[in-house]
Structures are given as C-alpha cells and as structure tokens.
Amino acid sequence: MIFGRNSVEKKHNRSYRKGVVLVLALAVAGAATAFAASQINLLETGSSLLYPLFNLWVPAFTKAHPNIRIVTNSTGSGTGISQSVAGIAQIGASDAYLSDAMTRMHPTMLSIPLAISSQMVNYNIPGLNNKHLKLNGPVLAGIYMGKITMWNDPQIAKINPGVKLPDHKIIPIHRTDGSGDTFIFSQYLSFSTPAWNNSVSFGTSISWPPVQGGLGAVGNPGMVTALTGSKYSIAYIGVSFERAIMKDGMGIAMLGNRAGNFVMLTPHTVSSAAAQMVPKTPKDERVSLIYAPGADSYPIINYEYAIVSKQQPSAQTAAALRTLFTWAISGNGGNAPHYMEAVHFAPLPPSVVRLSEAQINQIQ
C-alpha cells in the first residue's frame, strides 16, 4: 500500500512526540534519583539544654541548605553521647565533653563546642520566690546529701541574714536520665565541696545519695514541671529554660563563686567567668569552665558540645556536618546575637571558634 505524504508526516510526528515524552520521563526520573541521592539526613539527639537552640537553628539552616534534613531529639546528654558513639546519631548534643576514658576507647570521637551556656539553681518557696536567696556549693551539697534538710537550717540562714526562712523540709529534685546538667551541677559541688567530691563526685549519671522526700525528673522540662508542682523544692535547670522559670514565678538563686562572692546569672557574670577559663581551652576543647576564679565570675558555665565522629560513612554526610557546624559557630550564622539571646547563651569567643573550626575540618 502506498501512503500519501500527509499520512507519512502524521505517523512521523506521532513517533517523534512519543520519543520526546519518553526522553522527558527518563530525565525527570533521573533528576528525582539524583535529588534523592543528594538528600542528606542527620539525626541530632541529646542535651535538653541545647535542644531549644537546635530547634531555632534547623529551620534557618535547612532553608539555605534544602538538601540537608535534620531531625532533633531531646533525650539527655548521656543518650546523645552514647548514640553518637554507637553511630545511631550523627550528632550527640551534650553539656558534657567526652571523658578521658571515653576518648581513649573511642579515639575517632570529637567534642566540638558550639556555644557557651550556664545553669540556674531554682526554688519554689511560697513568699520567697521574688527574692534571690544566696546558696553556695557546700550548702547545695549538704541539701543533696541529705545533711541539710530544712529551709531554715543555720547554714542557709547564715548566708541569708535578715531573710525569714520557712521551717519546712527541703525537697531536692535531680535528673534521673544521663544528663549534662547533672554533669556540670555535680562538678560545681565537687570543685567547691571536698566532702561531695570524695563521696559522690561528678558525671552525667551519678549515684545520688538517698534523701527522704527527694524527687527525680527527666530532662529540663521535667525539672521545671517537678519544681513548679512541688512547694519548698529546689532544682538545677539549664539557662535556656529561664523564660519558663520566670513565667512560672520560681526563684533564682545567687550562687557562691570561687572568690566567695554571691553573684546572679547575668551576661556580665557569664562573660567574666568565660574570660577566666576560655584561655585554658586545649586543642581538643575538652575542658571544664565550672567554678572559675574572679570576683564577678558566675560559677556554673560550660561549653555546649557536639559529640561527633571524625570518620563518617560517606563524604556527603561528612560535608553536611562540616557545613552545619561551620554555620553554627559563625557570628553570622548560629552564633548570631538573636539566636544566643533567645536561649540566654553566649557566643563562642574568636579563639574558640578557631579551635572548633580545626576540629570540624577533621570530619571526613
């Protein structure tokens, strides 16, 4: 059969269109595959103190880097450390650096400071929450060891002259999960009180002395809930929860520092402590900033750490982590004032930024 010219052209055009559709379909499929391959998933888990900051960081960072997806979990520093060491999470958020023993066991793990935070000591005493009671390491150690059991105990009254303290039992609240907040609070007690250091010492998980009426709580949110729900209680709570404490009308203590002065938690007292301790930061950045010398130094400040392996399973994951951390420690990125002020953190000084950058560059 002989086809006319129009019939041949129509058949040719149909074949051409089918070919174009097929090519486009293959291109779209290829692009989707490439996009899926380029999508990097990061899991951050750990510190409930650092959790609010990560939740501020993630939307801004992922908007600029849409191929990087970050999931955050508030599980406590102990879990953050263990899951990052096990490779379950790419980022272990922690108020505590890796111990010497952990570093020897896991030499590929890094402790990278991301910011400077601090810790409050709070109380719920009817009629006194609007006053800043003075408390120090020996008194707090006595409370948490069960040796100081009443709010009008002579040791508390001595450092709070003129304050009418209630004749009521103290309810000490502590963290039951592995916690960086426990780590830094127990360091303050250890560094200031030999009796505590020789019996309990410090760590993310410690053997709390049994105290009648004492309470346990999980995470900083659990500490806030336990404190507000228990009159005459006392608790240690990360500074990123200061707004919740103030909203609930809880008391904030003045703490005794190494110089013997009682100081409030303020930007000035935090920066004073940092100025004393930051120059002592080693290359691996594992250092305690607790109980700094200086008349105005607030005694409980610390680096907030990312616990991360320098050996990642893929170059893409390593690159994503380097990009995230480099942004996080930048004054134009995660350490920008509006992020730091929102959670009452202090930015890293330039000397520490350089040390963190050197560690970040080890991630491969």
Q: What is the pLDDT of residue 38?
A: 84
Strand 91-94 versus strand 134-135 pairing type: unpaired
Which one-letter amino acid corresponds to residue 18?
K
Do 234 and 143 meet the contact criterion of CB atoms below 8 Å apart?
Answer: yes
Judged against a pLDDT cut of 70, whether residue 7 lies above it is answered with no
Indicate the pLDDT class of residue 124, thresholds 50, 70 and 90.
very high
- Strand pairing category for 91-94 and 262-263: unpaired
Q: What is the pLDDT of residues 154-203, one digit of tens each?
A: 999 999 999 999 999 999 999 999 999 999 999 999 999 999 999 999 99
Are 227 and 123 within one domain? Answer: yes
Query: Are 65 and 193 in a shared domain?
Result: no
Listed residues 280, 315, 331: the one ending a domain = 280
Across the chain, mean pLDDT equals: 91
The CATH number of the domain holding residue 241 is 3.40.190.10
Cα–Cα distance for residue pair 269/284, rounded to 1 Å: 26
* One domain, residues 107 and 122: no
pLDDT, tens digit, for every residue of 42-55?
A: 999 999 999 999 99
Q: Flag whether 94 is in a domain.
A: yes
- On the question of pLDDT at 32 being above 90, the answer is no
User: Is the pLDDT score of 29 beyond 60?
Assistant: no
Question: Are the CB atoms for 190 and 125 separated by under 8 Å?
Answer: no
Residue finishing a domain among 280, 296, 318: 280
Phi first, then psi, for residue 202 (nearest 5°) are -140, 160
Q: Which bin fits 249, alpha (ψ -120 to 50), beta or left (φ > 0)? A: left
Per-residue pLDDT tens digits for 34-80: 344 489 999 999 999 999 999 999 999 999 999 999 999 999 999 99
298 vs 16: CA distance, rounded Å: 76
Q: Left (φ > 0), alpha (ψ -120 to 50) or beta: where does 210 sit?
A: beta
Residue 177's domain comprises 118-280
Q: Is residue 25 part of a domain?
A: no
